[in-house]
Structure 1
Amino acid sequence: MTHTADQHAKPPEVLRYTAFATDPAGGNPAGVVLDAAGLDDARMLAVAADLGYSESAFLTPGPAGTGPGERAYTVRYFSPQAEVPFCGHATVATAVALAERDGPGDLVFTTPAGTVPVTVAEADGALRATLTSVEPYVAEAEAADVTEALAALGWAAADLDAALPPRIAFAGARHLVLAAATRARLADLSYDFERLRALMLRLDLTTVQLVWRDDAHASGTVFHVRDPFPVGGVVEDPATGAAAAAFGAYARELGLVRATAELTLHQGTDMGRPGLLTVTLREEDARVRVSGTAVRIPG
């Protein structure tokens, strides 16, 4: 009997991290494969599906032209159902995994969405990664699409915060931003999975970014967020770095915050997996920075 190379292929080492938290029980879990050389699309998708996390990251050496000693990698991201162009929490998890192996410092990730620089530094005894998004944009959301999204969510038009109008925001992946008028509205999430999924596929959305501005903070820079993710086969993403970056662009475009600002996003609380995302805006740079910790999941 003869065997193909695939039959003898060594299974990839899959690391498990949770991003935007210091407790393995919080944040958003991601799979990380630091050496994906030899894995084709089907095997990467199979690994992601078997793991069952919202996304997993797969690394190969940096593209041709990478300088000697430069810490550069090509990264691809897979949900259990499909490849996605960019994933913030898996980027943070991957950067921390690399820093634990090779030490903190600067990294360059070449992703399907573009080049994403990441810096990892130690702060207060924890490794913290900061990614810099690709060039973002914010676009109008068609009224009919917003109406359909609200219907799929089971929200009424009156449930929206008129001060934060719906928009499509992009910083590596597209998200529909909808702002809830109350914390209670945000907390009550029960939606039509297939109906929202169909709309998101038509609009090429990665998540719907549901936000509530915490008016208890005079700074106006604290938000609670949730991200339905039916296109990835997941009801809800616990902490979403790509959506956080897109929301930073949205907040700046609408003048909700100063041109140079730091936003705090709380996510995962309503799922019992609290996470904390820091979004940094700089007046001189349109790109958005998203920071957070990550920790290895035991077992």
Structure 2
Amino acid sequence: MEILRYAAFTDVPSGGNPAGVVLDATGLDDAQMQRIAAEVGYSETAFLTPAGERAAAVRYFSPRAEVPFCGHATIASAVAYAERFGPGPIRLAAPVGEIAVDTGDGRATLRTVAPATRAIPAEVGARLLEALRYTSEDLDPELPLRAAFAGAWHPVVALRRRERLAGLGYDEPALAALMAEQGWTTVDVVWRESATVFHARNPFPPGGVYEDPATGAAAGAFGGYLRELGLVAVPAALTVHQGDDMGRPSRLLVELDADPASGVRVTGRAVAIA
């Protein structure tokens, strides 16, 4: 078994979000995958089990637990796969459903499962803001607090000022407990620079990681949120900047079709980590 290490949503190993990749996990059980993910230590490691020509089943493990879907590990796995077996489409059967991926020239584009949004009860929203050490005055009134899904659930917390995003510092035990209770994978804290450019940070205490420098699943969910609530003109191509405040800059391209039921396309580059 070969364990690869790739940085996703970047073209330099020091940027983006690192992921472990196992291109052939045949014969590994849950405990072995969990142990490997903990030893690798990245926010996620993807385990692929070949299932036909340019097709595989995939599972994702953080250092602490399995997660239903991970965008950056999908991008990393697809680029690693293309480097070994050639560019082109790949079909990945994830726990949340089939993820179609196109690859070529060191980049990959995944299409998420159908996105969704749901309201966050006022009491839960108040607890979320308290754990994040924000108040209602910090929020962008044009981007409402919602939970968004495109393979995993993420609350979207939109801020009115960039400096409040840069100053992110949260109550880790309180946020972790709330996220476990609500079934959230990361928190998508965002600031809107323009109609199509956003900056994001993603706390990830359930996975044993303080913050993700690039979160493809959250970017896809956020794109679905913007489309469903009519907050962006579609079709649209959005750029999400993430990781800048951590010193691991990442760039995620999010593309939205006009069809509200269609999956969201998320594109990024990936590069091997020596």
The aligned residue for residue 286 of structure 1 is: 262
**Partner Cα separation in structure 2 for residue 222 and residue 256 of structure 1:** 13
**Partner Cα separation in structure 2 for residue 228 and residue 83 of structure 1:** 17
TM-score by length of 1: 0.90
Q: Work out which of the two has the higher radius of gyration on C-alpha atoms and give 1 or 2.
A: 1
The aligned residue for residue 251 of structure 1 is: 226
Which secondary structure state, in structure 1, belongs to the residue aligned with residue 37 of structure 2?
helix
Q: Does 1:108 align with 2:91?
A: yes
Which secondary structure state, in structure 1, belongs to the residue aligned with residue 177 of structure 2?
helix
The aligned residue for residue 137 of structure 1 is: 116
Which secondary structure state, in structure 2, belongs to the residue aligned with residue 286 of structure 1?
coil
The aligned residue for residue 240 of structure 1 is: 215
Q: Does 1:178 align with 2:161?
A: no
After superposition, residues 171-250 of structure 1 pair within 5 angstroms as 171-215=150-194, 220-250=195-225
**Partner Cα separation in structure 1 for residue 48 and residue 151 of structure 2:** 18
Displacement of 1:121 after TM fit?
1.8
The aligned residue for residue 27 of structure 2 is: 38
Task: For 1:289, give the aligned amino acid.
Answer: R
Aligned residues, how many? 273
Task: For 1:102, give the aligned amino acid.
Answer: F
Task: For 2:132, give the aligned amino acid.
Answer: L
Displacement of 1:198 after TM fit?
0.5
Q: Does 1:90 align with 2:73?
A: yes
Query: After TM superposition, what 4+ stretches of structure 1 lie above 3 angstroms from structure 2?
Result: none
Q: Does 1:27 align with 2:16?
A: yes
Displacement of 1:53 after TM fit?
0.3
The aligned residue for residue 275 of structure 1 is: 250
Which secondary structure state, in structure 2, belongs to the residue aligned with residue 287 of structure 1?
coil
Which secondary structure state, in structure 1, belongs to the residue aligned with residue 24 of structure 2?
coil
Displacement of 1:286 after TM fit?
2.0
**Partner Cα separation in structure 1 for residue 58 and residue 138 of structure 2:** 39
TM-score by length of 2: 0.98
Once the two structures are superposed, residues 155-179 of structure 1 have per-residue CA deviations (whole angstroms, 9 ceiling, x without a partner) of 1110110110000100000000000
Which secondary structure state, in structure 1, belongs to the residue aligned with residue 264 of structure 2?
strand
**Partner Cα separation in structure 1 for residue 2 and residue 86 of structure 2:** 20
Q: CA RMSD in A?
A: 0.8
- 2:59 pairs, out of 50, 62, 76, with 76
Gaps of 5+ in 2: none
Percent identity for Structure 1 against Structure 2: 58
- 1:260 pairs, out of 211, 214, 235, with 235
**Partner Cα separation in structure 2 for residue 286 and residue 177 of structure 1:** 20
